[in-house]
């Protein structure tokens, strides 16, 4: 099974900051990497698919990059509504797997 490791597990930042979250796969997954945002009590929301493709309706301040085993999610200028938990997920092969999450908190 493919293991996904995110870092950091938590992050404090201010509105307007640039933030980067990383995700590493235990083996090459090409670009089969997705990013989700989850707010308390809500279902996850797809932000980025195929490592770098922005889901329709998602603000352009979100971007993704990477391939093979190393990936990043970048938020170029944090907005108040961006404080949430972020998960990466590989869809290269079943069983699918998620990272452990990165909780983005207000500094």
Binding site for other proteins (CB under 8 A): 1, 31-32, 34, 36, 38, 42-46, 49-50, 53, 55, 87, 89, 91, 94-101
CB-nearer residue toward other proteins: 17 or 55: 55
What does the DSSP 8-state code read for residue 82? G
Contact between 52 and 64 (Cβ < 8 Å) = yes
Nearest approach, Cβ of 2 to other proteins (angstroms)?
11
In terms of C-beta density within 10 A (0-12 exposed, 13-18 middle, 19 or more buried), how is residue 42 classed? exposed
Least Cβ distance, residue 53 to other proteins (angstroms): 7
């Amino acid at each position: 099974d493919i293991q996904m490791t995110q870092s950091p597990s938590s992050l404090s930042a201010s509105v307007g900051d640039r933030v980067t979250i990383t995700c590493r796969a235990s083996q090459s997954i090409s670009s089969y990497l997705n990013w989700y945002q989850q707010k308390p009590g809500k279902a996850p929301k797809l932000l980025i698919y195929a490592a770098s493709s922005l889901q329709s309706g998602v603000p352009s301040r979100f971007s993704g990059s990477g391939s093979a085993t190393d990936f990043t999610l970048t938020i170029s200028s944090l907005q108040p509504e961006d404080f949430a938990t972020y998960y990466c997920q590989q869809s290269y092969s079943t069983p699918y797997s998620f990272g452990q999450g990165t909780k983005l908190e207000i500094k």
